[in-house]
Structure 1
Amino acid sequence: MAKFINLILAAQILLLAITVASAGKNGEDFARKVNRKHLGLGEKEKLTHLRVYWHDIVSGRHPSSIMIQRPVPDYSSSSFFGSVTMIDNALTSDVPINSTLVGQAQGMYAGADQKELGFLMAMTFAFKTGEYNGSSITILGRNVVMSDVREMPVVGGSGMFRFARGYVEARTKEFDRKTGDATVEYNCYVLHY
């Protein structure tokens, strides 16, 4: 009798395995609902405001921004159209570059406007201090440098900023015409869980 019950159980397990294995063969298994709690997501989103100062250093022996693609010759004097600059810029808590380092802005900006000084910004703010240490937000958008205030979207994040969305406002605080170095205030408004 015990052998018969074991045989029935084995047959049921085999039938279940075949059913599970064939369930998604029509391409229906590529998506599924996930319990938010399994990802550590609360029910309500938080809104966080971060103010950091972005230091774009293009001069000196150790620049934090390096142009890796020169502008298209016809546009080089006015808009930098076609240029690509890689960055690893310091993010500080105040305007002076020697104020508290809170993170790094890593990514690139590219001259994307033929008529005015306008860049496509693609960068991640990687935070290195306090409760946001190890977390990041990603910014992707248009930056018309000569405007007083530029708004760009926050398109994602990691760590405490998983599923982030929002926007940043950029305001130039200092610009050295001789060296090209700049300090920009970024006010970041981030919705996250």
Structure 2
Amino acid sequence: MANNLISTSTAATTFIVVLLSLLLAGKSQTFSTSLRRTAMPRGKQNLTHLHFFYHNVVGGPNATAIRVAEAPITNTSATGFGAVIMVDNLLTVGPEPNSTRVGRAQGMYASADLNNMSFMMVHNYVFDEERYNGSTLSILGRNPLNSPVREFPVIGGSGVFRFARGYAKARTYFLNATNRDAIVEYNIYVLHY
């Protein structure tokens, strides 16, 4: 009978140890936590309108838009399909390159349409103008170049533009038909806290 009690006691202890091990092992480090809406920034959202010019310099020794990849058909495709261009383009208040600088557009665009001149845009607008210094807006969208006005979604931001959402409208202000340098006028409307 004593052996049965020891066996039962040992089995119960083993069961508890195994159960605790499973419970502890099943409790992993969490990487996310649900928060109440009250954890959001206080105050109402702001709607900000930004207006600036984007300088895409493709040619010459001071190029700010460089092709970094291409597909086997890129050079024979009517749309340059598959070309990937990295950019670090100047953003200014006016269309002249020497007008007041407000930041840089950093990211890439890629020819993503076999039949029409259209780029996939992935850009971060990094602002260094005093009020927005260090803040960014992120754009991801389709840029059909033959449209007089193109619209892209603002998908996020940082700094002043945390929790940003909105849209950007782009209009070609100047295009050099020979080397494809361009100046593009942007109007961005963004909601943020």
Q: Deviations over 1:90-118 (max 9, x none)?
A: 00001111111100000000111010100
Q: Check the 8 A contact 1:72/1:80 in 2, yes or no.
A: no
Q: Check the 8 A contact 2:74/2:83 in 1, yes or no.
A: no
Q: Percent identity?
A: 45
Instruction: Give the direction of change, closer, same or farther, for the CA distance of 1:178–1:46 in structure 2 (3 Å limit).
Output: same
Q: Check the 8 A contact 2:143/2:151 in 1, yes or no.
A: yes
Q: Check the 8 A contact 2:73/2:82 in 1, yes or no.
A: no
Q: Deviations over 1:140-169 (max 9, x none)?
A: 000001100000000000000001000000
Query: Which residue number in structure 1 is paired with residue 90 of structure 2?
Result: 90
Instruction: Give the direction of change, closer, same or farther, for the CA distance of 1:92–1:76 in structure 2 (3 Å limit).
Output: farther
CA distance in 1, matches of 2:33, 2:126: 30
CA distance in 2, matches of 1:26, 1:180: 54
| Gaps in structure 2 of 5+ consecutive residues | 1-22
User: Which protein has the larger Cα radius of gyration, Structure 1 or Structure 2?
Assistant: 2
- The structural deviation recorded for 1:50 is 0.1
Instruction: Give the direction of change, closer, same or farther, for the CA distance of 1:186–1:74 in structure 2 (3 Å limit).
Output: closer
CA distance in 2, matches of 1:179, 1:28: 52
Instruction: Give the direction of change, closer, same or farther, for the CA distance of 1:81–1:74 in structure 2 (3 Å limit).
Output: closer
- The structural deviation recorded for 1:75 is 6.5
Query: Which residue number in structure 2 is paired with residue 44 of structure 1?
Result: 44
Q: Deviations over 1:47-97 (max 9, x none)?
A: 000011000000111200000113542674521111100000000001111
TM-score w.r.t. the length of structure 1 is: 0.81
Aligned length: 171
**Where in structure 2 are the equivalents of 1:138-157 lying within 5 Å?**
138-157=138-157
Whether 1:66 aligns to 2:51 is no
Query: Which residue number in structure 2 is paired with residue 118 of structure 1?
Result: 118
Query: Which residue number in structure 1 is paired with residue 34 of structure 2?
Result: 32
Q: Secondary structure at the match of 2:160?
A: helix
| Gaps in structure 1 of 5+ consecutive residues | 1-20
Across the aligned residues of Structure 1 and Structure 2, the Cα RMSD in angstroms comes to: 2.4
Query: Which residue number in structure 2 is paired with residue 4 of structure 1?
Result: none
CA distance in 2, matches of 1:57, 1:36: 45
Q: Secondary structure at the match of 1:85?
A: strand
